[in-house]
Amino acid sequence: AQSVTQLGSHVSVSEGALVLLRCNYSSSVPPYLFWYVQYPNQGLQLLLKYTSAATLVKGINGFEAEFKKSETSFHLTKPSAHMSDAAEYFCAVSVSSGNTPLVFGKGTRLSVIA
């Protein structure tokens, strides 16, 4: 079975500050990990994915995440927050990179303060 825990349902940062969204996973098989962003009343947009290649994954909009097997973590970071980054962020795990269901964390709402 797989599961995802996102620590912090709401994170607030100042514009220009570091963004850190935490994600820990549990998986009985080597995991495939994803971060998605959701804007209000919209679907999910893929930010980045880990598929057993490089442990440091770079995504869109300046986001990156590092896979740490020893810590079972896949935290999302961005050096400098923009107002447009305010959204809901979901970490997800799957047993493959494609046609298998995703198991999502509860999500973290990111607020960016001017």
Partner 1 sequence: GAVVSQHPSRVICKSGTSVKIECRSLDFQATTMFWYRQFPKQSLMLMATSNEGSKATYEQGVEKDKFLINHASLTLSTLTVTSAHPEDSSFYICSASVRGNQPQHFGDGTRLSIL
What does the binding site for partner 1 look like in residue numbers (CB under 8 A)?
34, 36, 41-46, 49, 51, 90, 96-99, 101-107
CB of 4 to partner 1, least distance (A): 9
Helix (H) or strand (E) run with residue 47 in it? strand 44-50
Residue closer to partner 1 by CB (options 12, 80) is 12
- Taking CA atoms, 10 is separated from 22, 84, 86, 88, in Å, by 11, 16, 11, 9
Residue closer to partner 1 by CB (options 80, 100) is 100
Residue closer to partner 1 by CB (options 28, 70) is 28
Q: Can you tell me the distance from the alpha carbon of 8 to that of 102, in angstroms, rounded to the nearest whole number? A: 20
CB of 16 to partner 1, least distance (A): 27
CB of 79 to partner 1, least distance (A): 24
Please tell me what DSSP assigns to residue 60: G
Q: Can you tell me the distance from the alpha carbon of 112 to that of 65, in angstroms, rounded to the nearest whole number? A: 19
